[in-house]
Amino acid sequence: MDSIMLGLLNVLSPFNLLVIAAGTGIGIFVGAMPGLSATMAIALLLPVTFGMDPAAGISMLASLYMGAMYGGSISAILLRTPGTPAAAATVLDGYPMAQQGRAGKALGVSLTASLIGGVISSIALLTVAPVLGKAALSFGPVELFAIAVLGITIIGSLSSGSPIKGILSGVVGLLIAMIGMDPISGTPRFTFGTMYLFNGISFIVALIGLFSIPQALRLVEKDDGVQKALSSFKDKMLPTFKELKSMIVTILRSSVIGVFTGLIPGTGGDTACWFGYNEAKRFSKEKEKFGTGHPEGVAAAEAANNAVVGGALIPTITLGIPGSSATAILLGGLMVHGIMPGPTLMTDHALITYTLIWAVLLSNVFMFAEGLLLTRAAVTVTKVPNKVLAPIIVILCVIGSFTISNSIVDVFVMFSFGILGYFMDKLSIPTPPMVVGMILGMMLDISMNQSLLISDGSWMIFITTPLPAILLFIALISVLQATPIFRIIKQRLKKIAR
Amino acid sequence: MNNLAKHGLASALTLTLAIVFYVNSLKLPDAAASLPRILAVIIILLSFAMFGEAWYNERKNRKVQQESNEPIHGFRVFVFAALIALYVILIKPLGYFVVTPLFLIVALSYLKATQLWKSVLIALGFTFFCYMLFVWFLSLPIPMGLFS
């Protein structure tokens, strides 16, 4: 309880409030720009937090994540182009509302639903994380090994596109994490005689390249289309109490959906918004209104994508397993300050962790206030041409990766990963599993070797201990469902059932 | 290059990576080599699986991803990537204040993003903004080159 209160007091310090407000504001603007994702914005802002106190830095990144989730709806409603993939379902009813002259109302509904979704997910984070964190403290290396294996297989198999490619990307990430000094024996591994590789490849450098350079290259590969955009809106933003009452059940349902979707590694706002939207339509008595400019459609999608933030942070904080690419970068933000993610995060670094949790809750309030004040201004930034943004992103990547350890080699590594990410994108190989693999690699290696030491080299320890056995079984299922074997078994079972 | 050839190349690359790491792990003590060896074997299997999947999709003539009809300017991407490479190479010897505005002006002009005078204004303004943010506000280092 003391840690929770200390976190609250820390988050209320003037500097922390300032960085949360700044992070939320930047998030709203970046989210509003089509072509710029929340993940990329967090990756680019990460070096900016190096010079800050860890609690302030991580709070700024988390509030940017929250702000970007709402910001994505601005261009979805006004331009029919989602600012972030998480706002894809918002287009369906948001854009028709704008065409009917109700753009302000659509944005207001989006903002209110985002606030409620965000607050519910923050409360879930504040209540579930300490309990789960306490349980995670009893985990030994065998359990941690199983959790890491489960994390990488689930994020790999649930990533967009082919599960085979997702898992391959994750395993390549794990292999890259093996470069450097072996944590158990101290032997240099795969350094190929290069001094730089003795410390391993910094995953922060890699993620800046993987998430930002491909985005910059994608922005220049096509001509800027002429968008029939609304340059302003005149109607009132906030919904009336009657309107809010008619949508509240949908908002609450979508918020719960968002929290649970966020909990599953590999699924994020982009999945949650469709899930929330479809469920709202399924339960609605006015199904035919969905897709024609129905405020409930906007509310369902927006509550779900903001609720993902708190949900995704639960496994990130308690177990050190990032639920999405954005939370993977948040973990990177902690690691930059020498804080190793994992079950001890809630005890050894309780102040930072609870400050972060309170910052997520508080960022919703800032998002609502700044949303009311800044949405009209954010409409202007949607007009910035992609070709102007691309070189600016590159400069932030180069300077950001240089500042990590004052090394130009880091910049070369960042650029190489950027080019790799571009080609991976062209082949529909997801990049988030690779980053998560790079984060989990060390944890997997240490826990595996410690477990084998405990069992005198017997691999049976992973099967004979109940919890790891269950987790590894789930991991095996998630891998098998990516193969034709699963389809064959499913067909056989169907035949038997008939 | 068709989809199957692209996937073939990607599979060959991941396969080579896995083999190089596996062979290299033979020189390591068992404790340090066990996980990398397991991972290398998994990558080898997944590389074949990825190629197999691409081959299966090609045979079924199924398009994995719907590409937009809008043409992609491959040459423009190549030139822009080359400009980034040049920027990365030159920033250490020449310094941030020389290379950053130059990169911005050249890139914005090549991409025909805006008029030249606006490009110059953006270049100077953003170079100054980044310096203020990283060096003045956050006390972080930037490559100074000729100005060091």
- A426: chain B residues, CB-CB within 8 Å: 6
Residue A64, amino acid: L
SS (HEC) of A444-483: HHHHHHHHHHHCCCCCCHHHHCHHHHHHHHHHHHHHHCCC
Question: Is the Cβ pair B107, A391 closer than 8 Å?
Answer: yes
**Residues 6+ away with beta carbon under 8 Å from A192:** B24
Question: Is the Cβ pair A182, B31 closer than 8 Å?
Answer: yes
- A336: chain B residues, CB-CB within 8 Å: none
Alpha-helix runs per DSSP H in A222-294: 241-263, 269-283
User: Is A303 a residue whose pLDDT tops 60?
Assistant: yes
Question: Is the Cβ pair B24, A190 closer than 8 Å?
Answer: yes
pLDDT-based confidence at residue A489 (cuts at 50, 70, 90): confident
Structure tokens at A386: 């992609």
Closest CA to B14 of A135, A420, A31, A133: A420
Question: Rounded CA gap, A172 and B61, in Å?
Answer: 29
User: Is A427 a residue whose pLDDT tops 70?
Assistant: yes
Nearest Cβ partner for A220 among B17, B21, B80: B80
Question: Rounded CA gap, B82 and A168, in Å?
Answer: 29
Question: Is the Cβ pair B28, A52 closer than 8 Å?
Answer: no
* Domain layout of chain B by residue ranges: 3-59, 74-147
Share of chain A above pLDDT 70, in %: 96
Closest CA to A419 of A266, A218, A223: A218
Share of chain B above pLDDT 70, in %: 93
CA end-to-end distance (rounded Å), chain B: 47
| Among B residues 5-44, those touching chain A with beta carbons less than 8 Å apart | 6-7, 10, 14, 17-18, 21, 24-25, 28-29, 31-36, 39-40, 42-43
One-character DSSP codes across A339-394:
---STTHHHHTHHHHHHHHHHHHHHHHHHHHHHHHHHHHHHHHTTS-HHHHHHHHH
Question: Is the Cβ pair B36, A444 closer than 8 Å?
Answer: no
- B23: chain A residues, CB-CB within 8 Å: none
Question: Is the Cβ pair A162, B103 closer than 8 Å?
Answer: no
| Among B residues 95-134, those touching chain A with beta carbons less than 8 Å apart | 96, 100, 103-104, 107-108, 111-114, 122, 126, 130, 133-134
Question: Looking at CA atoms only, how far is residue A449 from chain B in angstroms?
Answer: 7
Across the range A405-434, mean pLDDT stands at: 91
Question: Is the Cβ pair A395, B130 closer than 8 Å?
Answer: yes
Q: How far is CA A17 from CA A14, A117, A160, A480, B86, in A?
A: 5, 21, 36, 47, 40
Give the model confidence (pLDDT) of A177-203 as tens digits.
Answer: 999 988 888 888 988 888 888 888 988
Question: Rounded CA gap, A380 and A167, in Å?
Answer: 40
User: Is B103 a residue whose pLDDT tops 90?
Assistant: yes
Q: Is residue A419 classed exposed, middle or buried when 0-12, 13-18 and 19+ CB atoms within 10 A define those classes?
A: middle
ipTM of the shown complex = 0.91
User: Considering only A76-80, A356-360, A430-434, which range has the smallest mean pLDDT?
Assistant: A76-80
User: Is A38 a residue whose pLDDT tops 70?
Assistant: yes
pLDDT-based confidence at residue A232 (cuts at 50, 70, 90): low
One-character DSSP codes across B91-108:
HHHH-HHHHHHHHHHHHH
Question: Rounded CA gap, A32 and A470, in Å?
Answer: 42
Question: Rounded CA gap, A363 and A24, in Å?
Answer: 6
